[in-house]
Chains A and B, each alone.
Chain A
Amino acid sequence: MTLEEKKLQVVEDFSLYDEWLDKYEYLIEQGKNLAPFPEESKTEDKLIKGCQSRVWLDYELKDGKMYFKADSDAIITKGIISLLIDVYSGRTPQEIAEDDFGFLDQIGLKENLSPTRAGGLASMVETIKRVAAEVKDKKEASDDSQVLSADDVKELAPLYENVVLALKQVYDPEIPVNIYDLGLIYEININKDHKAYIRMTFTAPNCPMADMVISDAKTCVEDVPGITGCDIELVFEPAWNTSMMTDEARVALNMDFDVDDNSQE
């Protein structure tokens, strides 16, 4: 049944009863038939604000549709929320968020409630619409999110190689070995938007050339075709030591392996 059909059905159900006392009886029945709501889920964040009686509302998202659960300590309120979640469960967040809830006016519910209850009903409607809108926004945000498909990964692989090559062009002016072979690069990440994120260190925290080296590295990486940007984070944990150098670097610096072993202690 579509949302419109369901709403029509509720309006018709209500019109079967001439007297509001009978309509209440119908609501009370609805309330009594409501699926149980686990006591442990009755937390403050699930309480609908603005109702004189307490009303809890929760939902699950299955296959892109919302399924509501609710409870109240007052039975007529329970009937009303039960009616609402019966109509709106199994609908998409978009359908709910964009609905005008006009069928409530057709059945005359608002006029037949006490002012406090009518305020409570308005809070229930508002809450249902709000959570639906939140789910909808979250979904839209995740649609253009950072999730990588297999194709994305394939596309990114050559970029990593090129970023490493770029980093190998960068030198600390005082050391004849590039920063990559020196072992200063701890992490390279490239996201779906082809933005690079690099975590690096220096041989010592007080390296006077640090700013210049970082800026060089950033420029070189950003010059790699396909890379859209580069952020560099400087860290000193774990602290750099000579064991982090590549073999090529050791050769270039005339270091023998024994020295290396000692330095590890």
Chain B
Amino acid sequence: MTIEQLRSQFPILEEKVYGRPLVYLDNAATSQRPVSVVEKWNQITLKSNANLHRAVHKLAADATAEYENARQAAADFIGAADAHSIVFTSGATAALNLVAFCFGEACIKPGDQIIVTEEEHHSNIVPWQLMAQRKGAVLKVLPVDDNGRLCVEMLDDMLSSGKVRLLSVAHISNVLGIVNPVQEIVAKCHQYGCAVMVDGAQGIVHQKVDVTAMDCDFYAFSGHKLYAAPGTGVLYAKKQWLEEFPPYMGGGEMIETVRWTGTTFAKPPHKFEAGTQNISGVPTLVPAFGIATQMREQSIDSEAIAIKDYIYDTLRKDPRVKLFGCPDNPQEKIPLFSFCVDGVHHEDLALILDKMGFAVRSGQMCAEPLMDRFGVTGMLRVSFAPYNTMQEAQQFITALDKAVNMLR
């Protein structure tokens, strides 16, 4: 497949903004949708829209089959041995909240410790803070160094207290764009009896994930960053955790029987899927996994790597630019670049770039503690997807230069 063929599957890339061709470089916030995803949504909505699992009629059976088929597809996509390890949520944030709540209820005593890292998205900080407050647990923070690398060597020390019950870490930081050594972290934590949750919101997009090899206890990601419908999300959890966890939300579908004397619950994963699920959205994960797999083909991937190397080199060499997240090994970097330009406010840059047709992100990227760590009020972030071209990358560098000159 060529990039042109890939692009043709994403009609929005033909859009113009302010009369200029759109260059979409905010893929880390949300990716664009291919036709196959839109068609899947339409097919479900127009031909087999019905509530899941309950009714005996044909539409309900079709909708249920599509939904459960997506569960198997999700398990296959991330190398989970059993589809019953897959819980559908509204996104990575919901998945993180689910685990924080249930793990807290099932496993946390006062004085226990939880570790998160300094580079986490707010969604992987706040649920743990809430749980720690509720359960009297202590939240510890694993720092990052000046290059944006996680200080994994400090883990042994932190874990040796024997009080750490769970560590939650981003597979890839949404600000630094560095692939964290999650497999190593998991192995280390397990030595100390500490469970590991991986926030895969960015990781799932840029890495071939195999949760079985990774051996993590939990892995969460959102559909909307992976070309699927928004409001979809996947939580992978080792089955023993799902068996041990109490219910998260109560309501339809998560029950077995309801009596005034008490309720018994459905088996996982349905136990954690209360209420009407995202009937039209979840099945779009299947074509989304399909296109994500196609994007890993050599022809597409080599271009993506070339773009990444080009931007990484150009920004690092620009004396006006302070780039955050610079691993020694460029293979650890994904095409996501957060930076500040000397003497120029990030928001000004984003505004000017927007008028030039470039969609980029500015601000704190939902990672205030990390902004504080680097002593900045915000950054500019450009994040590429495989449908972005080298020409767009070059245009971006030219536009950035023009914008900086305008603003300085």
Chain A residues at the B interface, C-beta cutoff of 8 Å: 19-21, 24-25, 28, 52-54, 73-77, 112-114, 116-117
Residue pair B347, A74 in contact (C-beta under 8 Å): yes
Residue pair B354, A114 in contact (C-beta under 8 Å): yes
Q: For the complex formed, measure the closest distance between the CB of A120 and the CB atoms of chain B, giving whole angstroms.
A: 9
Residue B407 interfacial (CB < 8 Å): yes
When distances are taken between beta carbons in the complex, the residues of chain B under 8 Å from A113 are 351
CA distance A179 to B198 in the complex (A): 87
Residue pair B355, A24 in contact (C-beta under 8 Å): yes
Residue pair B345, A114 in contact (C-beta under 8 Å): no
Residue pair B18, A117 in contact (C-beta under 8 Å): no
13 further A-B contacts with Cβ under 8 Å, apart from A53-B347, A76-B407, are: A19-B18, A21-B18, A24-B352, A24-B406, A52-B378, A53-B345, A73-B345, A75-B344, A75-B407, A76-B345, A76-B351, A113-B351, A117-B347
Residue B172 interfacial (CB < 8 Å): no
Residue B348 interfacial (CB < 8 Å): yes
When distances are taken between beta carbons in the complex, the residues of chain A under 8 Å from B344 are 75
Residue B363 interfacial (CB < 8 Å): yes
Chain B residues at the A interface, C-beta cutoff of 8 Å: 18, 344-345, 347-348, 350-352, 354-356, 363, 377-378, 406-407
Residue pair A52, B363 in contact (C-beta under 8 Å): yes
Q: For the complex formed, measure the closest distance between the CB of A76 and the CB atoms of chain B, giving whole angstroms.
A: 5
CA distance A76 to B355 in the complex (A): 13
A-B contact pairs, 10 of them (CB 8 A): A19-B355, A20-B355, A21-B18, A24-B352, A24-B355, A24-B406, A74-B348, A75-B345, A76-B351, A117-B347
CA distance A112 to B18 in the complex (A): 10
The residue on A at minimum CB distance from B350 is A114
CA distance A261 to B363 in the complex (A): 80
Residue pair B348, A76 in contact (C-beta under 8 Å): yes
Q: For the complex formed, measure the closest distance between the CB of A85 and the CB atoms of chain B, giving whole angstroms.
A: 19
For the residues of B in contact with A, the DSSP-based class is helix
For the residues of A in contact with B, the DSSP-based class is helix
Q: For the complex formed, measure the closest distance between the CB of A65 and the CB atoms of chain B, giving whole angstroms.
A: 32
Q: For the complex formed, measure the closest distance between the CB of A60 and the CB atoms of chain B, giving whole angstroms.
A: 27
> Which listed residue, B347, B350, B363, B407, touches A28 by the CB 8 Å rule?
B407
The residue on A at minimum CB distance from B408 is A75
The residue on A at minimum CB distance from B352 is A24
- Which residue, A20, A25, A52, has most C-beta atoms of chain B within 10 A? A52
CA distance A114 to B353 in the complex (A): 12
On whether A116 and B407 interact (CB within 8 A), knowing A20-B18, A75-B344, A76-B351, the answer reads no
Residue pair A116, B406 in contact (C-beta under 8 Å): no
Residue pair B355, A21 in contact (C-beta under 8 Å): yes
Residue pair B348, A75 in contact (C-beta under 8 Å): yes
Q: For the complex formed, measure the closest distance between the CB of A52 and the CB atoms of chain B, giving whole angstroms.
A: 6
CA distance A113 to B350 in the complex (A): 10
When distances are taken between beta carbons in the complex, the residues of chain A under 8 Å from B354 are 114
When distances are taken between beta carbons in the complex, the residues of chain A under 8 Å from B350 are 114
CA distance A117 to B355 in the complex (A): 14
Q: For the complex formed, measure the closest distance between the CB of A245 and the CB atoms of chain B, giving whole angstroms.
A: 71
- Which residue, B351, B354, B406, B407, has most C-beta atoms of chain A within 10 A? B351
CA distance A139 to B350 in the complex (A): 43
> Which listed residue, A25, A73, A75, A116, touches B363 by the CB 8 Å rule?
A116
Residue pair B347, A21 in contact (C-beta under 8 Å): no
Q: For the complex formed, measure the closest distance between the CB of B25 and the CB atoms of chain A, giving whole angstroms.
A: 15
Q: For the complex formed, measure the closest distance between the CB of B266 and the CB atoms of chain A, giving whole angstroms.
A: 42
Residue pair B345, A74 in contact (C-beta under 8 Å): yes
CA distance A20 to B356 in the complex (A): 9
